Structure 1
């Protein structure tokens, strides 16, 4: 197996992917791209033998240097509100120029022929997927659902006010970052995933009303579900200190959930990791959204 490089290795998904990957392959076959190779998150891995390259998605030359001698690049998608198109294009173009064989990209789940646009995410992810497919590189696209770790951001402090979101009966098959990282590692270390796209939905879909019911059971406190207008939802977020650009962002995800954009349970995640992914009920029992 050739060298594997993970981008965004200090982020939530990238760091989990790195930790799991090092359980599968020798450290001298692993490299990372990070803005600060001296960070505490990375130094311990460097001591174990990985290569840490300083750079970022906007610095094309740093990408070329980092990708030298690399066979596979795990492209963790760039953060929202940061000119994602330029960053993803740079990584793909540099990988091609440097002789990388295979790029794995983390995208967003998207129903076929969907008209939903999550601000700062949907269109830039689609651009990256199209760019990668047109590049001539071997690719794997891993379409991610909403993370279980961030679901509480959509409905706020449920313990105090309940689950208050705009109306909708759609469901979301969210998945944990740990399970998604395990899927990344499976693709990085196994053959047979070349030029394929996977829908990495969780194994159980839930509506916001379902979440309120589950939280009530877990907390042994009645957590009501209340459908509110989009205006009231935005006003509540602003009152809680969210800037306007973030309120539109969160509303986009809620709209997607309420219309069933992320409701499919494809089974791809379970097949890749070889076990049933964590459900939303299991997750909330372990990691309370009330903390």
Structure 2
């Protein structure tokens, strides 16, 4: 197996992917792209033998240097509210120029022929996927669902205020970051995933009403579900300290949940990781047990 490089290796998904990868691949076959190779987050891995390259998606030459001698690049998509198109294009073009064989890209789930546009995400995902397919590189597109770890961001502190979101009965098949990292590692270490697109939905969908019911059962408290207007939702989030641009961003995801954009349970995630993904109820139980401890 040739060298594997993970971008965004200090982030939530990248760091989990790196940890799991090192359980399957010798450290000297792993490299990372980070802004600060001497950071505490990466120091332990360097001591184990991982190559740490200083680089940035905007710095094309740094990408060329990092990709030299690399077979596979795990491209963790750039953050929203940045120039994602330029960053993703630079990584793909540099990978091609440096002789990388395969790029794995983390996109966001969307339904076929969907009209929903997630602000700061959908159009740049489409651009990255199209660029990859046209690059001549082998590629794998891993379409991620909303994370179980970030569901609370859509409604805030449910234990205090309940689940208050705009009305809708759609469901979201969210998945945990650990399970998604395990899928990344499966694609990075196995053959047969070239030029494929996977929909990495969780194994069970839940509406916001389902989430309120589950939280009530687990916490043994009454956590109400309350539908509010989009204006009330935005005003409430702003009142709790979020900037307007962020509330608009979150509202796009809530609309996606309510219209069933993330409801598909494809089975791809389970097949890749070889087990049932964590469900939303299991996740909430785990989180609540940590709070009690």
Aligned to 2:128: 128
Aligned to 1:165: 165
Aligned to 2:40: 40
CA distance in 2, matches of 1:245, 1:19: 33
| Corresponding position: 1:235 with 2:235 | yes
Aligned to 2:263: 263
CA distance in 1, matches of 2:140, 2:194: 6
Q: Structure 1, unaligned stretches of length 5 or more? A: none
| Corresponding position: 1:11 with 2:14 | no
Which structure 2 residues correspond to residues 174-253 of structure 1 after superposition, within 5 A? 174-253=174-253
- 2:6 aligns to what SS in structure 1? strand
| Corresponding position: 1:281 with 2:276 | no
Aligned to 1:146: 146
Q: Would you identify which runs of 4 or more consecutive aligned residues in structure 1 move more than 2 Å?
A: 288-291
Q: Structure 2, unaligned stretches of length 5 or more? A: none
Which structure 2 residues correspond to residues 50-89 of structure 1 after superposition, within 5 A? 50-89=50-89
- TM-score normalised according to structure 2 size: 0.98
Matched residues, number: 291
Post-superposition offset of 1:288: 3.4
RMSD, aligned α-carbons: 1.0
CA distance in 1, matches of 2:290, 2:177: 19
**Do the aligned partners of 1:157 and 1:290 also contact (CA within 8 Å) in 2?**
no
- 1:234 aligns to what SS in structure 2? helix
Post-superposition offset of 1:289: 10
**Do the aligned partners of 1:33 and 1:55 also contact (CA within 8 Å) in 2?**
yes
Deviations 1:61-114 (A, max 9, x none): 000000000000000000000100000000000000000000000000010000
- 1:287 aligns to what SS in structure 2? helix
- 1:140 aligns to what SS in structure 2? strand
Which structure 2 residues correspond to residues 21-36 of structure 1 after superposition, within 5 A? 21-36=21-36
CA distance in 1, matches of 2:215, 2:266: 25
Change (3 A) 1:80 1:66: same
Post-superposition offset of 1:148: 0.3
CA distance in 1, matches of 2:61, 2:175: 35
- 1:106 aligns to what SS in structure 2? strand
- 1:277 aligns to what SS in structure 2? coil
**Do the aligned partners of 1:152 and 1:289 also contact (CA within 8 Å) in 2?**
no
**Do the aligned partners of 1:159 and 1:290 also contact (CA within 8 Å) in 2?**
no
- TM-score normalised according to structure 1 size: 0.99
- 1:72 aligns to what SS in structure 2? strand
